[in-house]
Amino acid sequence: MEERVDPEPRSFEEALARLEEIAAALERTDVPLDDALALVTEAAHLKRYCRARLTDAAGALERLVELADGDIRLEPLERE
């Protein structure tokens, strides 16, 4: 089986939609083994892409805090 290199998704939303398509395809019982393996490989790539985008977004999130004197400052988002 020739390994296919998929292009980088254009967006997080595109990657997530493709992951949903892959999950639906893998739920079917008529997917040949080689095709299923290729889909799992693609899903792993997309998962890494999505995780990296989420990590980047979480690091960039800040919330605005208005102080009593009317000034506004940025504070890092508190993580739970």
- The phi-psi region of residue 70 (left if phi > 0; otherwise alpha if psi is between -120 and 50; otherwise beta) is left
Please check whether residue 2 lies inside any domain of the structure.
no
Please check whether residue 59 lies inside any domain of the structure.
yes
Tens-digit pLDDT profile for residues 11-41: 999 999 999 999 999 999 899 999 999 999 9
Average confidence score pLDDT of the chain:
82
Look up residue 34 and give its amino acid: D
Look up residue 76 and give its amino acid: P
Mean pLDDT within 61-80: 65
Place of tokens 């290199």: 5
User: Would you state the pLDDT for residue 2?
Assistant: 47
Please check whether residue 48 lies inside any domain of the structure.
yes
Please check whether residue 33 lies inside any domain of the structure.
yes
Number of domains in the chain: 1
Please check whether residue 24 lies inside any domain of the structure.
yes
Q: How confident is the model at residue 1 (pLDDT cuts 50, 70, 90)?
A: very low
Q: Give the residue with greater pLDDT, 38 vs 8.
A: 38
Please check whether residue 25 lies inside any domain of the structure.
yes
Nearest to 43 by CA among 12, 11, 20: 20
Range of the domain at 32: 12-76
User: Would you state the pLDDT for residue 64?
Assistant: 55
Please check whether residue 5 lies inside any domain of the structure.
no
Please check whether residue 4 lies inside any domain of the structure.
no
